[in-house]
């Protein structure tokens, strides 16, 4: 798009632009601008996005928002793990037993979850161009958008089991709602989804060819946008439909029946055993089994417990619950060890604690759900009390 109206600094981690359509209504564009790290989210980026999206929500001249990532490889591959790792090591060295004392993690998760919830409840249409890699925190940004676009090169995943975390950013709520209990499978295996599987899983809405992007941008500027958000959402849907292509079913749908059977069991050990015993030797399934086998047993237990709880919670309550769990993960869980093995020392030999699924019992996981503040003092207690409501879902 052209006609940028906001001052830009190319080195800024997030770029913001506004472009005027033919009738003067404006489209706000937010571009994650750290392509060397696959647009990984830092605390600064999350704060910038939150501030600008709130300003656009209050600006009657801005009728549609577009979220996108710089470069061709990724929309967003997740959070800034290096900064979180530093904060976790500093917290552990401090000797504190209060997980709130990791101020960076406390701030990061609080601001990130607020931003994600804002997107879910945004009063105007948001188009997320989910091209390339979309993982972890990237799904947190994309999932709540009213219009979620994938391309033939999109790859979505919740790979947190490989780093000792769990599918957060509302992932407990989102994955619980994937058809056929497949959300449990995705959390335990980190299996990637193509565009078709992402739509099937409820994480995307429509697939467009990557090469259609310039034509789509031009078409958006020709729309006679209205003053009504619902009307604009319908017009955005119609524009996307012009460029949409059938989305090819991926391996999640190919293996839908055995995945549903494996994940129908009520006990985690039975689910894991059933996944490992699933028939078929295609590479996607083989890699899923290997990831589950090598992943953190504690992460598997956390993800399983959270999805079962999320079935009874609102989205706001899910974010509040995940915030508690994430602080404990940053305080004494396997999160730091997982990052060390993958990104710091890069030895890919994490020493998980607990080391086995048998040791990751319901009793072991219980402390992760204990709130470290008094009743009524949760930092996200006001989430869900605003007047914003999404335009689509």
Does this model's pTM top 0.85?
yes
Average pLDDT in the chain: 95
Q: Of 312, 329, 306, 322, nearest to 383 (Cα)? A: 322
The number of helices, as runs of H, and strands, as runs of E, in the chain is: 17, 9
- Strand order from edge to edge, sheet including 62-69: 14-20, 26-32, 62-69, 126-130, 147-150, 206-207
Q: Give the model confidence (pLDDT) of 28-85 as tens digits.
A: 999 999 999 999 999 999 999 999 999 999 999 999 999 999 999 999 999 999 999 9
Query: What's the confidence (pLDDT) of residue 4?
Result: 47
Does 252 have pLDDT greater than 90? yes
| Residue 275, CA distances (Å) to 74, 199, 258, 303 in order | 29, 23, 8, 15
Query: What's the confidence (pLDDT) of residue 10?
Result: 67
Does 19 have pLDDT greater than 50? yes
Residues β-bridged to residue 74: 133
Residue pair 261/274 in contact by the 8 Å Cβ criterion? yes
Query: What's the confidence (pLDDT) of residue 385?
Result: 67
Query: What's the confidence (pLDDT) of residue 75?
Result: 98
Query: What's the confidence (pLDDT) of residue 315?
Result: 97
Q: Give the model confidence (pLDDT) of 135-189 as tens digits.
A: 999 999 999 999 999 999 999 999 999 999 999 999 999 999 999 999 999 999 9
| Residue 314, CA distances (Å) to 78, 97, 146, 273, 294 in order | 24, 30, 18, 31, 32
> What domains are defined for the chain?
14-369 (3.90.226.10)
Q: Of 309, 308, 300, nearest to 358 (Cα)? A: 300
What mean pLDDT comes out for the span 220-239? 97
Q: Give the model confidence (pLDDT) of 79-92 as tens digits.
A: 999 999 999 999 99
In degrees and rounded to multiples of 5, residue 2 shows phi and psi of: -120, -170
Query: What's the confidence (pLDDT) of residue 9?
Result: 53
List of residues 6+ apart from 281 with CB closer than 8 A: none
Does 379 have pLDDT greater than 70? yes
Query: What's the confidence (pLDDT) of residue 280?
Result: 78
Q: How many whole angstroms separate alpha carbon 270 and alpha carbon 188?
A: 13
Question: Angle 254-257-258 (CA atoms, 0-180°, nearest 5)?
Answer: 95
3-class DSSP state of 147: strand
């Amino acid at each position: 798009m052209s006609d940028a109206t906001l001052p830009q600094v190319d080195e800024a981690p997030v770029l913001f632009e506004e472009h005027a359509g033919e009738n003067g209504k404006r489209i706000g564009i937010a571009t994650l601008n750290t392509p060397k790290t696959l647009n990984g989210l830092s605390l600064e980026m999350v704060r910038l996005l939150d501030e600008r999206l709130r300003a656009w929500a209050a600006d009657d001249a801005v009728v549609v928002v577009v979220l996108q990532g710089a470069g061709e490889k990724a929309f967003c591959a997740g959070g800034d793990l290096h900064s979180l790792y530093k904060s976790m090591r500093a917290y552990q060295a401090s000797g504190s037993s209060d997980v709130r004392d990791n101020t960076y993690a406390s701030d990061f998760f609080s601001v990130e979850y607020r931003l994600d919830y804002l997107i879910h409840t945004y009063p105007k249409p948001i188009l997320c161009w989910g091209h390339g890699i979309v993982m972890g925190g990237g799904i947190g940004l994309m999932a709540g958008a009213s219009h979620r676009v994938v391309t033939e090169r999109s790859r979505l995943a919740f790979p947190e089991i490989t780093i000792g975390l769990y599918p957060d950013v509302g992932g407990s709520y989102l994955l619980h709602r994937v058809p056929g209990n497949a959300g449990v499978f995705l959390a335990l295996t980190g299996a990637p989804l193509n565009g078709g599987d992402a739509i099937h899983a409820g994480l995307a809405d429509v697939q467009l060819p990557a090469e259609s992007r310039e034509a789509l941008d031009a078409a958006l500027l020709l729309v006679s946008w209205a003053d009504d958000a619902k009307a604009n959402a319908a017009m955005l849907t119609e524009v996307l439909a012009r460029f949409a292509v059938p989305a090819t079913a991926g391996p999640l749908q190919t293996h839908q029946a055995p995945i549903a059977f494996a994940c129908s069991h009520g006990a985690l050990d039975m689910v894991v055993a059933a996944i490992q015993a699933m028939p078929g030797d295609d590479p996607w399934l083989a890699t899923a089994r290997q990831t589950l086998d090598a992943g953190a047993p504690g992460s598997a237990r956390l993800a399983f417990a959270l999805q079962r709880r999320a079935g009874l919670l609102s989205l706001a309550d899910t974010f509040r619950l995940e915030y508690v769990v994430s602080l404990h993960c940053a305080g004494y869980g396997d999160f730091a060890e997982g990052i060390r093995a993958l990104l710091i020392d890069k030895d890919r030999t994490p020493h998980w604690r607990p080391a086995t699924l048998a040791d990751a019992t319901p009793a072991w996981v219980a402390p992760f759900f204990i709130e470290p503040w008094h009743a009524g003092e949760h930092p996200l207690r006001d989430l869900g009390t605003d007047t914003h409501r999404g335009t689509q879902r």
